[in-house]
Structure 1
Amino acid sequence: MRREPPQKALDYAPLIFPAGMLILFFVIPFGTMIAVSFFQRQQGGFYEPAFVFDNYARFLSAFFGGVLGFSLLLAITVAVVCVVLGLPFTYLLSRMSRKVQVVWLVALLSILSLSEVIIGFAWSTLLSRTAGISNLLVMLGIMAKPVALMPNFGAVLTGMVYQALPYTVLVLYPALVRLDPTLTEAARTLGASPVRAFLTVVVPALRNTIIATLIMVFIFALGCYLLPQILGRPQHWTLSVLITDQAIYQSNMPFAAAMAVFLVLVTLGMVALTLLVGRKGEAV
């Protein structure tokens, strides 16, 4: 069946409500944020309308450039680790019985029901010196005495991967379930090992899905706010944390708006890249 284009103005009526919501809750706030990012900050936390680039110039300084680089590096690392762990796990899950799949999917959905605060404080307890997993390692004779495993980069990475991994599995699961199992069986018949069949058949077949999943997890990790504060030191804070710090605690709304504009533009760019990858996948 071929989809007919709208013939009259009334045919566009169903688009009025979503377009109005988009304008009201995204276009207007984002436009206001862009305008505020060019304002001039005054003493006492006040600011006045102006058109200056001081906020963006400060954002490109060495310190905030380092924060931006760390935020991007952390988001990329989380995305790669989640896909590396989630892809083989989801592949094995898709080959299990239906009952086992349901149990695992329910477990993953239960993790999604946890808030970022609960996840952060749970991992801070597990990585602490008094009640953490280091005490278990001491009991097993692996360590001499319990130590605190946080705050550090590894703790932040662990918490963020734990939070983002269920999303990764749930995105990859439909594509792996639809994948024809005879493809890997044919590779095994031709002499390929299970690992080689997975790398040479499954991974190329899901290339677009994997790229879209990487972008999705990258966007998710880029906006992470609480976990870097709970599990890391100030040098492990992401751009989202500094935006809140500048807006609330430093009373520098124009500078916070400039950083937020950049963060939104990066996110929109990643979303556009995801749509582009999806269209190429449909064309193939």
Structure 2
Amino acid sequence: MRRSPPQKLTDYLPIAFPAAMLGLFFVVPFAIMVAVSVFKRVPGGFYEPAFTLANYARFLSPFFGEVLVFSLFLAAFVSAICLLIGVPFTYLLTRLRRGNQVVWLIALLGVLSLSEVIIGFSWSTLLSRTAGLSNLFVWLGLMDRPQSWTPSFGAVLTGLVYQAFPYTVLVLYPAFSRLDPSLMEAARTLGSSPIRAFLNVVLPAMRTTLLATSIIVFIFALGAYLLPQILGRPQHWTLSVLVTDQAIYQSNMPFAAAMAVFLVMASLALVGLSVAISGRKGAGQ
């Protein structure tokens, strides 16, 4: 059943309110941010209206390059780990009975209900020397004395993986639920082991979903803000943290706005890529 295109102005009324909200809370603030990004910073003050590309020229500086490379590396690392753990986990989850699946999904939604502050300080406690997991390892005889594992890159990575993992599973779950079980049965009948059948049959059938999921998790990790500050050192700060630092503590709003514009445009480009991949998959089906 095909929908006919809008014929009258009143046919657009159902999307009028969402469009107004999008314009009010995204388009207008983003336009202001773009305008501020080309303003000139006033030494000892704030900024004044002007048109300069000096703020964007600072993207070529080693300072911005180091933060950008680290942010991209961290986001890619988080995405890879989430897929490495989430793909087999989600596949096994969809093979469980319906009641057990509901229990696991509720648990994952419970993790999503936690704020980033709670997750950050919880992992900060678990990785601390006084009340952390190292004390359990000492009690088990695996370590000589308790150690502090935060602040560190490993702590930031652990916190981000913990926060992004539920999103990974929830994005993968619908696709794995629709996967035809006869694919695995046919591979097993032809003599493949369960692991080999999973690698050679299931994963190739899910490649577009896996790529779209990796992009979504990458975008999520790229915008990390609180966890790098709570669990890491300044060298572990992401681009989002640098935007806040430049805007509030360095009083350099134009440069902060330029970085924010770059971050938003990069995220939108990745979202568009994910939508294009999903659309191509739907057209292929």
- TM > 0.5: yes
* Residue correspondence of structure 1 range 59-208 to structure 2 within 5 A: 59-208=59-208
User: Would the aligned equivalents of 1:38 and 1:51 in 2 still touch at CA under 8 Å?
Assistant: yes
Counterparts of 2:8 and 2:21, CA distance in 1: 23
- The letter for the 2-side match of 1:24 is L
Q: Residue 224 of structure 1: SS of its match in structure 2?
A: coil
Counterparts of 1:223 and 1:24, CA distance in 2: 22
Counterparts of 2:223 and 2:17, CA distance in 1: 28
Counterparts of 2:71 and 2:102, CA distance in 1: 35
Give the deviation of 1:273 after TM superposition: 0.1
Within the alignment, does 1:44 sit opposite 2:34 as a pair? no
Q: Residue 114 of structure 2: SS of its match in structure 1?
A: coil
Q: Structure 2 length as normaliser, TM-score?
A: 0.97
Counterparts of 2:136 and 2:10, CA distance in 1: 68
Give the deviation of 1:10 after TM superposition: 2.4
Give the deviation of 1:15 after TM superposition: 2.5
> Residues 231-261 of structure 1: CA distance to partner in whole angstroms, max 9, x if unpaired?
1110000000010011111111101000000
Structure 1 segments of 4 or more deviating over 4 A?
none
Give the deviation of 1:60 after TM superposition: 2.2
- The letter for the 1-side match of 2:157 is L
* Residue correspondence of structure 1 range 261-276 to structure 2 within 5 A: 261-276=261-276
Unaligned regions of 5+ residues in structure 2, if any?
Answer: none
**% identity of equivalent residues:** 70
> Residues 191-243 of structure 1: CA distance to partner in whole angstroms, max 9, x if unpaired?
11111111111111111111111111111111110100111110000000010
Counterparts of 2:109 and 2:9, CA distance in 1: 43
Q: Residue 44 of structure 2: SS of its match in structure 1?
A: helix
Within the alignment, does 1:10 sit opposite 2:10 as a pair? yes
Counterparts of 2:225 and 2:205, CA distance in 1: 35
Counterparts of 2:45 and 2:163, CA distance in 1: 35
Counterparts of 1:210 and 1:70, CA distance in 2: 23
Q: Residue 44 of structure 1: SS of its match in structure 2?
A: coil
Unaligned regions of 5+ residues in structure 1, if any?
Answer: none
Which residue of structure 1 aligns with residue 255 of structure 2?
Answer: 255
Counterparts of 1:31 and 1:64, CA distance in 2: 23
User: Would the aligned equivalents of 1:134 and 1:146 in 2 still touch at CA under 8 Å?
Assistant: yes
- The letter for the 1-side match of 2:194 is P
Give the deviation of 1:13 after TM superposition: 2.4
Give the deviation of 1:59 after TM superposition: 2.7
Counterparts of 2:120 and 2:26, CA distance in 1: 29
The two structures, once aligned, show a CA RMSD in angstroms of 1.0
Q: Residue 278 of structure 2: SS of its match in structure 1?
A: helix
User: Would the aligned equivalents of 1:59 and 1:258 in 2 still touch at CA under 8 Å?
Assistant: no
Give the deviation of 1:184 after TM superposition: 0.4
**Count of matched residue pairs:** 284
Give the deviation of 1:8 after TM superposition: 2.3
Moved more, 9-18 or 236-245: 9-18
Which residue of structure 1 aligns with residue 226 of structure 2?
Answer: 226
Give the deviation of 1:16 after TM superposition: 2.0
Counterparts of 2:184 and 2:64, CA distance in 1: 48
> Residues 50-95 of structure 1: CA distance to partner in whole angstroms, max 9, x if unpaired?
1111111123200111101100110111111101100100100110
Counterparts of 2:2 and 2:102, CA distance in 1: 37
> Residues 5-64 of structure 1: CA distance to partner in whole angstroms, max 9, x if unpaired?
122222222222222222111111111101100000112331101111111112320011
